[in-house]
């Protein structure tokens, strides 16, 4: 296992790699491609934090907990609400900021504030040839050259290994409240969430749990403002079902974020991104053992029997969107691929980018392309 202590060592390891590397942040997802483990935990530490500029710069291997603790001491947070995958994956380890960025993590607040990519101001990374590259910076508005920052977020370590990230952080709001509506079915739930998301009340979460039959709407801000909006929304949603106003409910949203309902249950876990209104059509076709809806219906979490191919069902329904296989036996992942194949022209572009940023194919080889995993990729 390689454990670089700094960026220079990281660059040296990658430049000298003669076999593929499996890039690992906090190890919460486990290494899933073949190769020598390259652990980033040694690249740790917060390099800059300016609360008055809402800016944080940290080395990629910095534990998420360390960052969250520091931010909380100034009343701030990472607003993209990174998911803690350990529960649903049944894994251990300590999540790192680099890992969260590499997978473009996001939570229920995606509908209002965006994903990790939307808070990522700058990166330093080492490409597959061992070259250190920087892009972006530490300021909130930056259109200087191409936005490789976005490209790196969600590239799962296949274009380069992050060594440092700059982030925009936000204040923790004074208050949070939830409006929960008891709805008869998914259609009513999506309609209620659409009403809430189409209101002027700045909703920061809209999720539906078919188990309890509740659609939850989250509001955040100053206490008087949250109270006001909660009352308004409760009024507008009264026609959808019985409304319950809750204060707090941090745990509820944490459970939604982490898909706690699936924890400890057998089966495959899928994450499907669709247009919210399409969820109504798609959900019955999934034949899932359990479902959870977030993002107003636009994010579907499905727990299915082992080996079920939900992607085929998404495509047979003629819906646009994509399905990611989050948890399954390795044989299923090998058969179906973790990520959905895109149109050929897009796969060609993506392959082109990967072969230019990682010409020898040493970084998380095959992770993002099923074809490569099956041995069809570049040598």
Residues 181-240 close enough to bind another protein by CB under 8 A: 194, 197-200, 202, 221-222, 224-225, 228
Residue 371 has what DSSP assignment? H
Q: Which is nearer to another protein, 247 or 305 (CB)?
A: 247
168: which strand partners?
55
Which one of 43, 83, 101, 159 is in contact with another protein (CB under 8 A)? 159
**Least distance (Å) between residue 280 CB and another protein:** 10
The enclosing H or E element of 347 equals helix 344-357
Q: Which is nearer to another protein, 41 or 109 (CB)?
A: 109
**Least distance (Å) between residue 142 CB and another protein:** 5
Which one of 1, 16, 18, 52 is in contact with another protein (CB under 8 A)? 52
Binding span for another protein by CB under 8 A among 7-15, 87-95, 171-179, 207-215:
171-179
Count of residues engaged in binding another protein, rule: CB under 8 A:
83
Minimal CA–CA distance to 339: which of 367, 301, 313, 315? 367
Which one of 2, 41, 109, 110 is in contact with another protein (CB under 8 A)? 110
Could you tell me where the DSSP H helices lie in 198-290? Answer: 223-237, 250-258, 278-285
Binding to another protein (CB under 8 A): which residues in 4-23?
A: none
Which one of 17, 27, 55, 162 is in contact with another protein (CB under 8 A)? 55
Which one of 1, 143, 316, 379 is in contact with another protein (CB under 8 A)? 143
Q: What would the two tokens of residue 349 be?
A: 């572009």
**Least distance (Å) between residue 1 CB and another protein:** 27
Q: What would the two tokens of residue 30 be?
A: 């486990």
CB 143 within 8 A of CB 26: no
**Least distance (Å) between residue 30 CB and another protein:** 22
**Least distance (Å) between residue 347 CB and another protein:** 8
Binding span for another protein by CB under 8 A among 1-9, 93-101, 166-174, 238-246:
166-174
- Give the span between the Cα atoms of 206 and 109, in whole angstroms: 9
Q: Which is nearer to another protein, 39 or 367 (CB)?
A: 367
Which one of 28, 96, 105, 106 is in contact with another protein (CB under 8 A)? 106
Going by C-beta distance under 8 Å and a sequence separation of 6 or more, which residues neighbour residue 84?
28, 95, 257, 258
CA distances from 146 to 101, 142, 316 (A): 18, 10, 36
Q: Which is nearer to another protein, 39 or 57 (CB)?
A: 57
Q: What would the two tokens of residue 158 be?
A: 């296949």
CB 375 within 8 A of CB 368: no
- Give the span between the Cα atoms of 91 and 87, in whole angstroms: 7
Q: Which is nearer to another protein, 42 or 173 (CB)?
A: 173
Asked if 86 interacts with another protein (CB under 8 A), we say: no
Asked if 150 interacts with another protein (CB under 8 A), we say: yes
Task: Report, in angstroms and rounded to the nearest whole number, the Rg of the chain calculated over CA atoms.
Answer: 21
- In sign, the C-alpha dihedral spanning 2, 326, 85, 56 is positive
Binding to another protein (CB under 8 A): which residues in 330-349?
A: 339-340, 342-343, 345-347, 349
Q: Which is nearer to another protein, 185 or 212 (CB)?
A: 185
| Parallel, antiparallel or unpaired: strands 214-221 and 175-182 | antiparallel
39: which strand partners?
24
- Give the span between the Cα atoms of 302 and 289, in whole angstroms: 7
Asked if 151 interacts with another protein (CB under 8 A), we say: yes
């Amino acid at each position: 296992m390689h454990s670089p202590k700094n960026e220079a060592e990281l660059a040296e390891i990658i430049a000298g790699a003669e076999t593929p590397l499996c890039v690992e942040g906090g190890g919460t997802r486990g290494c899933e491609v073949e190769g020598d483990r390259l652990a980033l935990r040694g690249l740790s530490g917060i390099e800059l934090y300016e609360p008055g500029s809402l800016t944080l710069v940290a080395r990629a291997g910095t534990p998420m907990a360390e960052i969250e603790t520091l931010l909380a001491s100034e009343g701030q947070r990472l607003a993209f609400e990174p998911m803690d995958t350990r529960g649903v994956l049944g894994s251990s380890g300590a999540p790192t900021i680099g890992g969260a960025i590499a997978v473009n993590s996001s939570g229920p607040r995606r509908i209002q504030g965006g994903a990790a990519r939307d808070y990522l101001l700058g990166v330093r990374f080492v490409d597959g040839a061992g070259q250190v590259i920087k892009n972006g910076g530490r300021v909130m508005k930056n259109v200087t050259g191409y936005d490789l920052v976005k490209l790196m977020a969600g590239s799962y370590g296949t274009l380069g290994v992050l060594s440092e990230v700059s982030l925009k952080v936000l204040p923790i709001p004074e208050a949070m409240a939830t409006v929960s509506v008891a709805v008869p079915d998914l259609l009513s739930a999506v309609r209620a969430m659409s009403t809430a998301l189409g209101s002027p009340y700045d909703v920061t979460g809209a999720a539906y749990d078919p188990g309890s039959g509740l659609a939850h709407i989250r509001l955040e801000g100053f206490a008087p403002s949250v109270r006001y909006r909660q009352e308004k929304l409760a009024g507008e949603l009264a026609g959808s079902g019985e409304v319950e106003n809750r204060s707090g409910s941090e745990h509820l949203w944490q459970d939604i974020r982490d898909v706690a309902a699936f924890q400890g249950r057998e089966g495959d876990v899928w994450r499907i991104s669709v247009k919210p209104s399409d969820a109504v059509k798609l959900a019955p076709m999934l034949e899932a053992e359990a479902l959870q809806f977030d993002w107003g219906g636009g994010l579907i979490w499905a727990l299915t029997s082992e080996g079920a191919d939900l992607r085929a069902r998404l495509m047979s329904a003629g819906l646009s969107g994509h399905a990611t296989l989050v948890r399954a036996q390795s044989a299923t992942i090998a058969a179906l691929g973790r990520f959905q194949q895109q149109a050929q022209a897009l796969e060609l572009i993506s392959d082109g980018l990967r072969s230019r940023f990682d010409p020898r194919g040493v970084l998380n080889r095959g992770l993002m392309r099923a074809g490569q995993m099956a041995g069809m990729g570049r040598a």
